[in-house]
Amino acid sequence: MKSYIPTIDISSLLNLEFSTLKAKNTIRKIEKACVDVGFFQVVGHGINIKKINNVCKIGNKFFNSSKANKNKLAPKKWNKKNKNLYRGYFPNTVNGKEGLDLGDLQIKPNNIKKYKSSYIEYLDLTKSLSVSSIKNLYNYFDEIYALSEILFKGIIKLYKKDIKISNQAFSRLKTLSTLRFNYYPNQTKPVEISKQDGVALGCETHVDSGVFTILYQDKKGGLQVQNRNNKKWYDVPFNKKALVVNTGKALEFLSKGKFKATNHRVLWNKSKRLSIPFFFEPSNDFKMNKNFLNSKKYSKKGLIYEKFLNQSLKKFIEYQR
C-alpha cells in the first residue's frame, strides 16, 4: 500500500540550481507534500548514512552512560552548578523521555558574549563526550543545517523571490536551531492517553515551533502524523536512507497559513528508542512578519523570533524552567 507520507528525491536541489526542470519538479513535490500532509521523507539528501548511524551511536552511548555523566550537561534546573538554562540534558522524570538539546556548536566561550539571547548558550560538551564524538556532532550539525537551508530556499523560489533573503531569516551563530536527541527508555507507563482515540503515547500530540524539522527515526518507528481533514493517524514508515521532514509554526506564520504546522505524536512501545530531530529555527532577532515571503519588500516589523519561540515552548513541560 502506498504510504500516506510521500518520499521525495531532492538530489536535484543540492547544488542550489533551482531553475532546472528537475529542480522545479522537486520543489513542486515538496510544496504538495507540505500543503497536503505537512510531512514527507527525503532521499538523495547528500548526508552519508554512515555519518547518521555514527551520530546515533554517540547518542545511545551518552544516554546509556552514568547519571552523573549526563547531569554534567544538565541545565541549572537539574544541576545547580551549571549556568545553562536551555541547552543540555534533561532527565526522563520530566516527561517520560530523556533529551539532549544542542545549539549551534560553533558557539564558543570567545564569541558567546556577542549574542544577547537566553537561547544562545555555550555548552561544554567535553564534560561528557569524547573529542571525536564532538567533532562528529559538529560536522553533522553543519550538514543538517545546510540541508535545511536548501529546503527553505526551495520554498522561497515558490514565491519567486531571491533565495538570498534566506540570510535575513537565518544567520549562523544567531540561529536558534536545535539538534536534539530524544531517548525513550523502557517507559513503565505512557505520558499521555490520546483524548481523540484512546491510544497510549510515549510523546504527546504536538506541532513543532520552527520552519522545518528534519528527523532521523530509528527502525522501531512509532512516529504518527494526523491527517488534517479526516483526523486519522498514519504511521511514518522507517526508511534507513531517508530523513523525515515536517513543517512548523514559523513556516505556517511566514506563509500566511499555506504551509500549516502538522499534529504528530509518538506511540508508547515499552522499548528503548532513539530519534534525532533537527529543529531549523530562525535567528533570535529575526522579525516575524507575514510579508517576508508574500511581498516584494520585506518590512522589518513584527515579533522577534526569540519571543515567538518562547510562546510556542510554553506548552512543553520540559521547557518550564
Q: How confident is the model at residue 204 (pLDDT cuts 50, 70, 90)?
A: low
Q: How confident is the model at residue 221 (pLDDT cuts 50, 70, 90)?
A: confident
**Cα angle 71-214-57, degrees, rounded to a multiple of 5:** 45
Q: Is the pLDDT of residue 73 over 90?
A: yes
Q: What is the largest CA-CA distance in the chain?
A: 56
Q: Give me the pLDDT at residue 119, please.
A: 86
Cα–Cα distance for residue pair 290/8, rounded to 1 Å: 28
Q: How confident is the model at residue 1 (pLDDT cuts 50, 70, 90)?
A: very low
The model's pLDDT over 18-32, given as tens digits with 9 standing for 90+, comes to 989 999 999 999 999
Q: Give me the pLDDT at residue 308, please.
A: 87
Q: Give me the pLDDT at residue 5, please.
A: 92
Cα–Cα distance for residue pair 162/164, rounded to 1 Å: 5
- Mean pLDDT score of the chain: 88
| Residues β-bridged to residue 90 | 99
Cα–Cα distance for residue pair 107/268, rounded to 1 Å: 35
The enclosing H or E element of 41 equals strand 39-43
Q: Is the pLDDT of residue 186 over 70?
A: no
Q: Give me the pLDDT at residue 263, please.
A: 87
Q: Is the pLDDT of residue 114 over 90?
A: no
Domain boundaries, the chain: 7-319
Q: Is the pLDDT of residue 312 over 90?
A: no
Q: Which residues contact 73 (CB under 8 A, 6 or more apart)?
A: 82, 88, 89, 100, 123, 125, 127, 128
Q: How confident is the model at residue 260 (pLDDT cuts 50, 70, 90)?
A: very high
Between 28 and 92, residue with greater pLDDT? 28
Between 200 and 60, residue with greater pLDDT? 60
Write out the three cell numbers for 255. 506563509
User: Is 177 within 8 Å of 248 (Cβ atoms)?
Assistant: no
What's the rounded mean pLDDT across residues 299-315? 79
Q: Is the pLDDT of residue 33 over 80?
A: yes
Write out the three cell numbers for 220. 522501531
Percent of the chain with pLDDT over 70: 89
Q: Give me the pLDDT at residue 295, please.
A: 76
User: Is 147 within 8 Å of 47 (Cβ atoms)?
Assistant: yes
**Cα angle 146-64-278, degrees, rounded to a multiple of 5:** 20
Cα–Cα distance for residue pair 188/49, rounded to 1 Å: 32
Say if strands 243-247 and 212-217 run parallel, antiparallel, or are unpaired. antiparallel
Q: Give me the pLDDT at residue 223, please.
A: 86
Cα–Cα distance for residue pair 249/238, rounded to 1 Å: 25
Q: Which CATH code for domain 7-319?
A: 2.60.120.330
